[in-house]
């Protein structure tokens, strides 16, 4: 019987038995085919990558690798490796460049395959430069299916947002501006790291007092009342505010500019506030320093005005009180010479002539001192000035004083500047007169006035072939009463000092180069 039963079990079923079991079997087969069709359709989608794998364990049952059983085209595209080079192979064979550390997620796959459940994580694929969100589950014991979704755009948006947030934090730090937000419904007050630092709180603690809590803590009471009144008005009317306030910090008092504006919902209702606080302590300190400096300058200005008045008084005294005695001395000396010159001994006449010459020299010195004083005090009247024309006029005047001298005067044409005509003429009188005087030692004097690019900038020059000077003493040239030559050349030592004042008043500089017995060149610039 047993053998028959065994043979019967392998024989074709009887007709009536086939009819009885046919419907459930076909239904199961149809369901299986439908399930396979759906799985195939899901597996072969073009968007999400899918990989079906089995876990490989060591002798202790711990997952050490996995083998690819099947992948879809999307996964092939994601990893950049052909399907034939993946299916049937281990992950470490497919990706030999990935270190053991990078395979730490094998443990997650193994837990899903061996114990069931699911796992989610994100990974960056170098092949296609994509961020993928990976979801793995176990359809069969020892196996898992992983679904890969492209989240590159979201990840990059997150990175951009993080970068912008970092840049905003850095910008706030550099500008000492902190931002804040207040939600009216929840009464929550939040602020940026820089805002916390401004008030002396630790950004890591993320603690910031609310508006009411800032009374006496972040602001003196009277300052807080000003701020709170502005906040209340903004809540009620929606108008913004800006206040400079004295604030409190645990280590020092500071100044801030507080700004706020209303936040509205879609219906236009005020639902909160937002704003900034800027640390302006340095600016306030600078303003206080400027006020103090202005006070000092006002005092100095008053003192200067008094000094100018005193100088004007001195100039008046020099002009009138000193000139009168000099005129008397000179007149009486001349009377003695004219009326009694024949009767006077030769020695007496010599001394009278010396007295007369000394008074003339002192009179000239007074004139030069007054001239220097006027240069400093006179108001500049800028206009277009032809320096060439002025220089030719001065040269003609000098030639008239000594018509017997042989002087080759060269003056460049077309030298136009902006400046005070009177002062610029006096400048040329002093410089050309200086060249005229010191070139008198030459049988044929050569004097030139022109423009040059010396010293890297456009400058004017007066050059002569006269006595020159030792450059070791050039620092004394423009000092009052300093003379580098002896009695062989007349002078008061005021002319070059006056020239320097004129140039400086025009925003320029003046300097000289020379060599003993080889002439000199004086350069000057005008702004």
Which residues, other chains included, contact 92 with Cβ-Cβ below 8 Å and sequence gap of 6+? Answer: 65, 98, 103
Residue 9: the pLDDT is: 37
pLDDT-based confidence at 13, cuts 50/70/90?
very low
* Token digits of residue 357: 């010459």
Outline where 201-260 has alpha helix (H): 221-237
Closest CA to 247 of 220, 222, 225: 220
pLDDT-based confidence at 97, cuts 50/70/90?
confident
**Distance between CA atoms of 448 and 426, rounded to whole angstroms?**
17
pLDDT-based confidence at 521, cuts 50/70/90?
very high
* Token digits of residue 61: 């049952």
What's the average model confidence in pLDDT over 142-161? 85
Q: How far is CA 396 from CA 14, 385, 400, 451, in A?
A: 149, 18, 6, 20
* Model confidence at 140: pLDDT above 80: yes
Residue 339: the pLDDT is: 82
**Distance between CA atoms of 216 and 248, rounded to whole angstroms?**
8
Residue 483: the pLDDT is: 58
Closest CA to 107 of 39, 55, 69: 55
**Distance between CA atoms of 431 and 462, rounded to whole angstroms?**
7
* Model confidence at 106: pLDDT above 60: yes
Residue 333: the pLDDT is: 82
**Distance between CA atoms of 90 and 65, rounded to whole angstroms?**
7
Element (H, E) at 462: strand 459-464
Q: What's the whole-model pTM score?
A: 0.41
* Model confidence at 444: pLDDT above 90: yes
Q: Three-class SS string for 392-428?
A: HHHHHHHHHHCCCCCEEEEECCCCEEEEEHHHHHHHH
Residue 189: the pLDDT is: 82
Residue corresponding to tokens 């640390």: 279
Residue 411: the pLDDT is: 94
Closest CA to 189 of 277, 269, 279, 278: 277
Instruction: Compare 318 and 64 and report the one with higher pLDDT.
Output: 64
pLDDT-based confidence at 54, cuts 50/70/90?
very high
Element (H, E) at 9: helix 2-10
pLDDT digits (tens, 9 = 90+) for 508-517: 999 999 898 8
Residue 481: the pLDDT is: 57
Q: How far is CA 92 from CA 56, 78, 89, 97, 409, in A?
A: 11, 17, 8, 8, 98
Element (H, E) at 514: strand 510-514
Q: How far apart are the first and last CA of the chain?
A: 132
**Distance between CA atoms of 409 and 406, rounded to whole angstroms?**
10
**Distance between CA atoms of 91 and 313, rounded to whole angstroms?**
104
What's the average model confidence in pLDDT over 466-478? 82
pLDDT digits (tens, 9 = 90+) for 492-510: 567 788 888 889 888 899 9
Q: Which of 46-50, 261-265, 398-402 has the lowest mean pLDDT?
A: 46-50
pLDDT-based confidence at 335, cuts 50/70/90?
confident
pLDDT digits (tens, 9 = 90+) for 202-232: 776 656 777 777 887 888 889 989 998 998 8
pLDDT-based confidence at 283, cuts 50/70/90?
confident
Residue 12: the pLDDT is: 42
pLDDT digits (tens, 9 = 90+) for 403-424: 899 999 999 999 999 998 988 9
């Amino acid at each position: 019987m047993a053998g028959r039963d065994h043979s019967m079990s392998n024989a074709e079923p009887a007709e009536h038995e086939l009819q009885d079991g046919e419907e459930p079997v076909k239904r199961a087969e149809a369901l299986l085919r439908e399930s396979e069709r759906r799985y195939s359709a899901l597996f072969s989608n073009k968007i999400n990558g899918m990989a079906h794998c089995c876990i490989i364990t060591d002798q202790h049952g711990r997952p050490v690798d996995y083998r690819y059983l099947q992948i879809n085209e999307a996964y092939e595209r994601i990893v950049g490796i052909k399907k034939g080079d993946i299916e049937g192979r281990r992950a470490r064979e497919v990706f030999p460049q990935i270190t053991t550390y990078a395979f730490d997620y094998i443990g997650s796959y193994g837990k899903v395959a061996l114990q069931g459940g699911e796992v989610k994580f994100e990974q960056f694929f170098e092949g296609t430069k994509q961020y993928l969100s990976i979801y793995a589950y176990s359809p069969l014991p020892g196996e898992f299916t992983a679904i890969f979704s492209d989240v590159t755009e979201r990840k990059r948006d997150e990175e951009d947002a993080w970068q912008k947030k970092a840049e905003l934090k850095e910008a706030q730090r550099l500008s000492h501006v902190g931002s804040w937000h207040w939600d009216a419904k929840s009464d929550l007050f939040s602020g940026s790291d820089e805002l916390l630092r401004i008030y002396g709180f630790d950004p890591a603690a993320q603690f910031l007092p609310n508006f009411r809590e800032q009374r006496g803590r972040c602001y003196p009471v009277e300052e807080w009342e000003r701020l709170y009144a502005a906040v209340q008005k903004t809540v009620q009317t929606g108008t913004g505010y800006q206040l400079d306030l004295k604030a409190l910090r645990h280590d020092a008092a500071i100044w801030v500019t507080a700004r706020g504006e209303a936040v509205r919902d879609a219906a236009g209702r005020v639902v909160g506030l937002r704003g900034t606080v800027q640390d302006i302590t340095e600016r306030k300190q600078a303003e206080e320093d400027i006020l103090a400096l202005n006070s000092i300058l006002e005092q100095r200005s008053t003192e200067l005005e008094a000094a100018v008045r005193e100088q004007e008084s001195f100039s008046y005294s020099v002009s009138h009180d000193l000139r009168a005695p000099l005129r008397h001395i000179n007149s009486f000396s001349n009377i003695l010479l004219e009326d009694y010159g024949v009767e006077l001994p030769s020695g007496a006449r010599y001394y009278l002539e010396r007295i007369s010459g000394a008074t003339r020299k002192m009179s000239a010195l007074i004139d030069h001192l007054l001239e220097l004083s006027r240069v400093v005090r006179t108001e500049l009247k800028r206009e277009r000035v032809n320096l060439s024309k002025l220089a030719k006029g001065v040269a003609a005047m000098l030639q008239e004083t000594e018509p017997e001298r042989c002087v080759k005067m060269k003056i460049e044409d077309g030298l136009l500047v902006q400046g005070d005509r009177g002062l610029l003429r006096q400048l040329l009188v002093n410089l050309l007169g200086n060249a005229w005087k010191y070139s008198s030692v030459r049988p044929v004097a050569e004097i030139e006035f022109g423009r040059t690019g010396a010293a890297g900038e456009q400058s004017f020059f007066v050059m002569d072939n006269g006595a020159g000077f030792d450059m070791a003493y050039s620092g004394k040239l423009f000092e009052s009463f300093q003379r580098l030559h002896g009695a062989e050349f007349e002078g008061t030592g005021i002319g070059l000092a006056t020239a320097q004042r004129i140039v400086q008043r025009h925003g320029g500089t003046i300097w000289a180069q020379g060599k003993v017995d080889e002439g000199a060149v004086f350069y000057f610039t005008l702004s």
